[in-house]
């Protein structure tokens, strides 16, 4: 690394020594920016990188709520408002026991550049809580969401900060959060995205991240004379992103043979067809069940997750792999297995699913890597379209939204592949996404002075 980029990284590590995930996200980003830093004296002089790696604002708060037994429970809430350089803060809310400031900051940091890549005017933010929705009753989830919003509402607004969903936050939670916001403020505005279709939500928002991931992967493959059609794919996770990734792969004539959750994975060599996918949606979204029940219903192998090291899911022969669960789910050993099995493309549905070592192994093995900043940008892109529809007091048709999504993903591919070729090496989409995302945000920051 150049001394400027190295200094920025050292400063981040010094200032936040315990924030492992945030350091990782900053490090991989700086590796890309390192390739262009000599050509951008203004960026160095005006300390753009130092400013980009420090959130504009971090909000941390207590979330007290009452469980079904009448006991008081306390969780910690977060909202990291990372950058408003190109638009209001925008990014999801995550409810998972692992949530901490480091994870919130890494997600908010990545979101800044992802949102920039969509071409829409959205800044970057992220939030959530260490509340665990697993095993909670409907009433407990509602009470938690209401308490969370009772603090969060004063920090957000349709022109300030517009949260959405992420792990543990789907349409149901967004509905409860929105209801509470509306009740406190007496305003029906587009303050959250991912709303239900009956109260301002956009068609295709639930589908958008998974669909967008497949659209971008398809664009990369088309350039290499490859296709989803006739391919065999590995998908991890079984939540929102995984489900709609499978749905779009099926629609395009591919076959998905795996799904997982934090307890284990299933292998269905015949393929998870639309009928089986409907069962997964019911199982995970309505029943809040475990993927193990798929194995029981369809009599396919189930492998329990025992080790944090190599995940057997990434050691199955296939053409393409789509990690759609969580950060760092592909580590060094998994990447070696993917390379050994000659996987041709890894499309990142989850945020930062590959560790630094894994990323290096995948790219040096000639595997095409569609990085999360670009590959899962479809979700926030349609969130941006939901904001536009809310401002217009209009509702677009599903076909209209899907067409816009396809255009946005095509444009993202064009921009990241051009940036890769111009500033790095052809097909290095990690560099392409980081550099293309960075350029726009840094220009906006330079124009706006020291803010």
Sheet holding 264-267, edge to edge: 258-260, 264-267, 302-304
Please count the residues of this chain forming the interface with ligand NDP, following the rule CB under 6 A. Answer: 24
CB 219 within 8 A of CB 212: no
Copy the structure tokens of residue 410. Answer: 């095509």
The least CB distance from residue 115 to ligand NDP, in Å, is 11
Ranked by CB distance to ligand NDP, the top (closest) residue is: 239
**Touching ligand NDP, residues 301-330 (CB under 6 A):** 324-326
Positions in 262-281 near ligand NDP (CB under 6 A): 262-263
322's enclosing H/E stretch is: strand 320-322
Strands (E), 335-450: 345-347, 368-370
**CB-based contacts of 345, cutoff 8 Å, min separation 6:** 217, 220, 221, 226, 319, 320, 321, 367, 368, 369, 370
| Binding string, residues 29-68; x marks residues near ligand NDP by CB under 6 A | ----------------------------------------
The interface with ligand NDP within residues 353-392 (CB under 6 A) comprises: 376, 379
| Residues 152-171 interacting with ligand NDP (rule: CB under 6 A) | 165-168
Q: Select from 240, 389, 390, 442 the one that contacts ligand NDP (CB under 6 A).
A: 240
Q: Distance between CA atoms of 397 and 215, rounded to whole angstroms?
A: 19
Which listed residue (90, 105, 126, 255) is catalytic?
A: 126
Q: Is 122 left (phi over 0), alpha (psi -120 to 50) or beta?
A: beta
Beta carbon nearer to ligand NDP, 55 or 206: 206
For residues 91 and 164, the answer to whether their CB atoms sit within 8 Å is yes
User: Cα 284–97–309 angle (5° rounding)?
Assistant: 85
Q: Is 90 a catalytic residue?
A: no
What is the smallest separation between the CB atom of 424 and ligand NDP, expressed in angstroms?
24
Regarding 241 and contact with ligand NDP (CB under 6 A), the answer is: yes
Identify which of residues 205 and 255 has a Cβ nearer to ligand NDP in the complex.
205
Give the shortest CB-385-to-ligand NDP separation in angstroms.
Answer: 13
| Binding pattern for the stretch 95-134 against ligand NDP, x by CB under 6 A and - elsewhere | -x-x------------------------------------
Angle, CA 116 vertex, CA 115 and CA 120 arms, to 5°: 75
Active site positions, annotated = 126
Could you list the residues that contact ligand NDP (CB under 6 A)? 96, 98, 165-168, 209, 237-242, 261-263, 324-326, 349-351, 376, 379
């Amino acid at each position: 690394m150049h001394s400027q980029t190295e200094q920025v990284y050292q400063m981040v590590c010094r200032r936040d020594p315990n924030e492992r995930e945030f350091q990782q996200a900053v490090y991989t980003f700086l590796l890309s920016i390192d390739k262009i830093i000599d050509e951008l004296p203004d960026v160095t002089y005006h300390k753009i990188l130092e400013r980009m790696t420090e959130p504009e604002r971090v909000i941390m708060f207590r979330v007290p709520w009452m469980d079904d037994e009448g006991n008081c429970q306390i969780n910690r809430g977060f909202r990291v408002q990372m950058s408003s350089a190109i638009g209001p803060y925008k990014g999801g809310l995550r409810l998972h026991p692992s949530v901490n400031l480091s994870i919130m900051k890494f997600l908010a940091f990545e979101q800044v550049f992802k949102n920039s890549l969509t071409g829409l005017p959205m800044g970057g933010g992220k939030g959530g809580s260490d509340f665990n929705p697993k095993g909670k009753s409907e009433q407990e989830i509602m009470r938690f969401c209401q308490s969370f919003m009772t603090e969060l509402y004063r920090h957000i607004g349709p022109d300030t900060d517009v949260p959405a969903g992420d792990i543990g936050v789907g349409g149901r939670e967004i509905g409860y959060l929105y209801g509470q916001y509306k009740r406190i403020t007496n305003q029906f505005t587009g303050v959250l995205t991912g709303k239900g279709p009956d109260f301002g939500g956009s068609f295709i928002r639930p589908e958008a991240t998974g669909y967008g991931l497949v659209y971008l992967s398809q664009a990369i493959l088309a350039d290499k004379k490859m296709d989803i059609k006739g391919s065999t794919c590995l998908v991890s996770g079984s939540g929102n992103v995984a489900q709609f990734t499978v749905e779009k792969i099926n629609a395009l004539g591919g076959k998905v043979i795996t799904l997982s959750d934090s307890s284990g994975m299933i292998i269905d060599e015949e393929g998870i067809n639309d009928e089986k996918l409907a069962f997964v949606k019911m199982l995970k979204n309505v029943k809040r069940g475990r993927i193990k029940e798929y194995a029981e219903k369809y009599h396919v192998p189930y492998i329990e997750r025992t080790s944090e090291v190599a995940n057997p899911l990434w050691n199955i022969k296939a053409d393409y792999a789509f990690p759609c669960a969580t950060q760092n789910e592909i580590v060094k050993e998994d990447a070696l297995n993917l390379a050994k099995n000659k996987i041709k493309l890894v499309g990142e549905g989850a945020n930062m699913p590959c560790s630094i070592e894994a990323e290096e192994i995948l790219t040096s093995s000639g595997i095409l890597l569609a990085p999360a900043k670009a590959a899962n940008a479809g979700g926030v892109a349609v969130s941006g379209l939901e904001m536009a529809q809310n401002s217009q007091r209009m509702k677009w048709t599903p076909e209209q939204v899907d067409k816009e999504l396809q255009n946005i993903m095509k444009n993202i591919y064009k921009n990241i592949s051009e940036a890769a070729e111009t500033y790095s090496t052809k097909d290095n989409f990690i560099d392409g996404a980081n550099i293309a995302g960075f350029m726009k945000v840094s220009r906006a920051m330079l124009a706006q002075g020291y803010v």
